[in-house]
Amino acid sequence: MKTDPSTGAGKVHSRTCKSLGKGHQPSEPDWLEHLPAEWRETVEPPLYFEQYSEYEIRAERTVGYDADDQRCFTAHRYMLTSLASDDDEEFYELVTYSEEMAAWRLRDERWLVYRRISTNNCNQSRSFYALSPDMPR
């Protein structure tokens, strides 16, 4: 287990190297999942990924790199939960907030950003796309 120097303890680091011919790991990210078809020809495809997982909460982060070892894809997802009970005897986890983000570097160096946010299980999640001059963090 390695520590992510930018955030401190608690991050697990793994590297999937498709460019080196290694096999696909089951946890390899689907970097095209939220990318609209009309944008697919305008992004730099990643050759390998670095993946991080938080062990205390449900959170993960992926960064994809191109042939020049430059970041060309990033994604994160996390859920915040709280304990709830209907009868004060049996408790269950309730998702109070969740967020999913994916971003792709376009060939013109801008970033296409997808974000989906949900404030609880009762509300429908909201999602949108935006263009950014910088990679989202």
Q: Are 124 and 117 in contact (CB under 8 A)?
A: no
60 inside domain: yes
Please give the model's pTM, rounded to 2 decimal places.
Answer: 0.73
pLDDT of residue 27: 56
Domain span at 79: 11-132
Residue 83 within any structural domain of the chain: yes
Tens of pLDDT, residue by residue over 63-115, are 999 999 999 999 999 988 888 888 888 888 888 888 999 999 999 999 999 99
Q: What is the pLDDT of residue 62?
A: 94
Is 6 inside any structural domain? no
Domains contained in the chain, number: 1
Residue 121 included in any domain: yes
Compute CA distances 107 → 19, 33, 44, 45, 98, whole Å.
20, 19, 6, 10, 30
Domain-located, residue 91: yes
Res. 37: pLDDT tops 90: yes
- For 120, the token pair is 């609880």
